[in-house]
Amino acid sequence: MSAAVAEALRLPLSEDLSGFIALLQRLRVPCRVSEEGDQQVLRVPAAVVEQVRDLYARYPAGDSTLVAEQPARRRGGLGTALRANPFTSAILLLTLVVAGLTLLGENFTVIRWLTFTDFRIDGEYAYFATLEQGLAAGQWWRLITPIFVHFGILHLAMNGMWYWELGRRIEFRQGAWMLLALTLLFGLVSNFAQYLFGGPGIFGGLSGVLYGLLGHCWLFQKLAPDNAYRLPPGVVVLMLIWLVVCLSGVIEVLSFGTLAIANAAHVGGLVAGCVTGIIGGLLARKASGR
């Protein structure tokens, strides 16, 4: 921080400044907080003291929309948005790498190492190992890796777009480690659900994780309102309608059986996300004293 600093705010120690500090950091405003007796003092460069005070008057808890809803519009464009959401970007990059290695679902030599259970193709038939056999062989990565396998450019594009939309919100609001934990949890639950209810098979994609992230943001926002988790109007309704349509079997009928939907993965992810959203929302609500 520059030597020319000045006091911008003096507040009780009980005041939570973490959200506002995060906002200043994302706006690249140097700042320092120190404790003086029973108060905390925020100091910033003297040239921006008045602007910081005005910003605090408007957004004492931080304005999540500056990062969560409009990252591409900030100075630096997409590159800045990617750097501001490193874990979300890393997951999408890994997904793109896997899409290239698997040729979007055409390279079964690679896909067989990423599916929930191993398989071999003999003529027109596929023979699958059991989950127990895979785990006994130490292939624990299979519990998660199906989420990175996509079949076709549309499947990849839609899932990638929604992971970017939902993942960066959670990374901003609750941090990269929470997004990592939720991604792994929802991936594990959705993959297990699909295996248990659909049996051995070749399935994949981020959609189960996405329904988990959707449920998490939706119910977290209901219990502890925050701009970061305020989804565009109609998004939750649209996603739930799509889930019902998929469950009805209409998609399989219209595609003449060429397109299979991992319905159990979607439902499993959504249920898990609703549970974490309720728990997280209640904890955040308690922490804020509401």
Report the catalytic residues. 207, 266
Angle between helices 263-288 and 176-198 (to 10 degrees): 150
As a whole number of angstroms, the distance between CA 88 and CA 165 comes to 9
Backbone CA torsion sign across 9, 12, 15, 21: positive
As a whole number of angstroms, the distance between CA 105 and CA 1 comes to 51
As a whole number of angstroms, the distance between CA 55 and CA 78 comes to 25
Name the nearest CA neighbour of 169 among 18, 277, 267, 52: 277
Contact 42, 14 (CB under 8 A): no
106 vs 123, 155, 159, CA distance in Å? 16, 13, 18
> What amino acid occupies position 272?
A
The residues facing 12 across adjacent strands are 39
Tokens at residue 91, please? Answer: 């997951």
Which H or E run includes 36?
A: strand 32-36
